[in-house]
Structure formats: structure tokens, C-alpha cells
Copies of this chain bind each other. A is one copy, B any other.
Amino acid sequence: MQSRHLIDLSDLCVNEWENITRLACDIRANIDSYYGACRGKILATLFYEPSTRTQMSFQTAMLRLGGRIIGFDNPSNSSVAKGESLKDTVRVVSGYSDIIAMRHPVSGSAMAASLYSRVPIINAGDGGHLHPTQTLTDLVTLRNEKGSFSGLCIGLCGDLKNGRTVHSLIKAMSGFPDNRFVLISTPSLAVPLYIKDYLSAAGTPWHEVSNLADAMPLLDVLYMTRIQKERFASEAEYINQRGVFVLDSDKMAMAKKDLIVLHPLPRVDEITVEVDDDKRAKYFEQTEYGLYARMALIMKMLEDSSKQLPTPPPGVQTQCSNPNCITRIEPYVPHIFRKSGDILVCSYCEERTLLD
């Protein structure tokens, strides 16, 4: 693979994640024949914040490949509580294991970890920043359920402002021909400007609607997300708007026969329970595709599995302006930026700082 680690989906070239989604499909069809593919290998799951679902998915993936698992999910029980740095933890655990899946509340932490790890790092979520294996899951689901990544009208509904999985999916799918997006949200929870710019630059059509019902007849794919109550602009908006973004049987009745409904789960009440029995509801299948996606990813990443200690690149003096960037929390991490015109973009958290 072009990169040793998976921090962002952009670490994979299109060719690579085509390979991974194809492998995931084959694993699904022949799962038993992959038992033993990672015999003797150890996955460490370092979950600095708990996420049972994601951790179980990684663990199951490794176990179904015949590998073994170690890890933690409770930082207050770990050496971290004694003040150990991310670097030291990663140095030690990468001595024990063959691959690491890491979840951490701070933006850029997975990239920082990769600078000190002797084994491949998979980013299993770094704060609100990136969560590439969820997007990989979504892509494997689309390949299996729609047979193609092109020519799809994709509706995204709910909190489109804060939903990292939504942003990643938009970026990924706008890279394929003839897709278009319907963005279904309140004004205060619309997708950020930079995503709209991204779509326009890619020449991908999109429009916004304020109502799920209006969008239903148009869609080939509906990607639902949860809106947390506290994210509405006001209590009044919450009471007014709430039902508007709930998927129920009535709305399903307006949709195409071959619509598929996705959701990263857990859901709370944004999809009513009756929809579960609709054959077009695919969110539970989606979690299984996530298992196959992670199996394929782990296999590919372990293909070239020699342990080696990286040399971190030199950093610069300039500080990232994002107080929740890993470079602000762990002071030894080198400061690295990409220059883009007048702007410095932090390589860890993508925060953009204007040069004076």
C-alpha cells in the first residue's frame, strides 16, 4: 500500500480502496476460507475513549482472520492515567502488537501516533476529525447493495454540520461520475461551506432541502444521521423541526423501490422501528459490511508487516491555532503544515491559519 498507515481515507489511492472493497465482497461470500489469514498476528485496540461498537467490530475482524487481540477501552485504568505520553504508549504497544487500531478524543492524534509506531496505525476516530473505516464501511455497503459507485442520487439527512462520516462520504462519492447530492437539514445544521466548495469544484450537482419528505422520491440512497437535541438552534426549532427529519413508514412509501437506507448507528429515534422491517432498510447489513471492510483492511495492511521505527520529520516553530489539536496537547509532536496560498493548513487537524 502507498501508505503504511490509515489515518485518512486519502491515504488510500482509488486503486487501493477499490481493491479493499473487492476483497471485502469476497470475504463476505467466503468468510470461513479467510480464517487463518492473520494467524499469529496481534491487533491492539487502543481506545482512549470508549466506543464498544467500533472496538467490537475491529476485534471481531481480527478474530475472524484467526488473529489475536489485546487493548484497552478505559483510559482511567491505563498507564495514561499515570501521565504517560501518547508517544511512549505507542512505542511500547507497537513492540507488543502487529497492528494498532486507535480511537482518541483529540484531532490529529492518530497521525501523531503514526510518527512513533513500529507497526501500522488505523485511525478508528480522532475526535470530531476523521473516521475513515466508517467511510470504508459505507463504500463497501454501496458496492454490494447498489453494484456501483456512479449514477446515484444520494440524500444525506440530519446533522450535516458536525457529522464527520457525512463529510467523508461526500468527498469520496464526489470522486465518481454522475452522482448528485440532496442535503436535507435545518439551516443551522447544514454542511459547512468548505464541503459545498468541494462539491462545486468537483462539478458534482447538489441542492439543499429543509424537509425529508420532499426529498424521498428522488433518492437512490438515503444516509440518515442523528441530530442531537442540543444541536438545534433553539428549543422552539427543536419542537418544530424534529419530526421533519424522522424517517417513518409514510416517508418510505414515497420512495423508489430500490432505495437503500443507511445509518452509521447507533440510532435513537430518527428512524422509527417499523422501518426496520422494510427490505430497503440496510443499516444493520451495513454494520456487517463494516466487519468485512475491516477484515479486508487489516489483511492488506499486514501484507507488508515488517516492524520498523519511523523517523519523525522535523517540525517548525509555528503553532497550530486549534486548541484541540494533538500538537497542543502533546508538546513533543513536531509542528507540520501544508502551505496553501496565504494559508497554513495543519497536517494533523486540518485547521487553517492565515499567514500574516
Contact = CB atoms under 8 A, between A and B. Distances in A.
A296 to B, nearest CB: 16
Interface stretch (A134-142, A214-222, A283-291, A335-343): A283-291
B82 A70 contact: no
B265 A92 contact: yes
A63 to B, nearest CB: 4
B88 A265 contact: yes
A332 B274 CA distance: 9
Contacts of A78: 50, 52-53
A44 B57 CA distance: 12
Given A74-B77, A267-B88, A284-B91, A42 B63 contact: yes
Nearest to A269: B83
Contacts of A53: 78-79, 92
Interface string A59-92: 1100110101011111001111011110110011
A95 interface: yes
A283 B282 CA distance: 49
Nearest to A284: B91
A297 interface: no
A35 interface: yes
Contacts of A268: 82-84
A204 to B, nearest CB: 32
B50 A77 contact: yes
A276 B85 CA distance: 13
A93 interface: yes
Nearest to A81: B50
A70 B69 CA distance: 10
Given A79-B265, A96-B287, 17 more contacts: A40-B66, A50-B77, A52-B72, A52-B78, A56-B72, A59-B70, A60-B70, A60-B96, A60-B97, A63-B68, A79-B266, A82-B268, A84-B268, A88-B266, A88-B267, A95-B287, A96-B291
